[in-house]
Amino acid sequence: MIKTMGMGELKYLCCYWEQQKTVMIVNPKDNLLYEASFSSDETLKRDWEETTFYLTITGFRKYDI
């Protein structure tokens, strides 16, 4: 997703992983603005196998670009 959509890399901050740059895309089929972001549960480890990650997609019906 970093290469195809320009999504920012994940960075470990204190006790969770957070994406540094969210992605905003207008879908030409429905003309809605979508935001995609990654995050994780709180974790004290930097262990990819033990961390739960979330992909959040938010759609906006009205927007100003």
What is the Cα gyration radius of the chain? 14
Instruction: Write the pLDDT tens digit of every residue in 41-53.
Output: 888 877 778 889 9
**How many whole angstroms separate alpha carbon 18 and alpha carbon 53?**
9
Q: What is the pLDDT of residue 2?
A: 67
Question: Dihedral sign, CA of 9, 44, 54, 18?
Answer: negative
pTM: 0.68
Convert the chain into a string of H (helix), E (strand) and C (coil).
CHHHHCCCCEEEECCEEEECCCEEEEECCCCEEEEEEEEECCCCCCCHHHCCEEEEEEEECCCCC
- Select the more confidently predicted residue: 65 or 10: 10
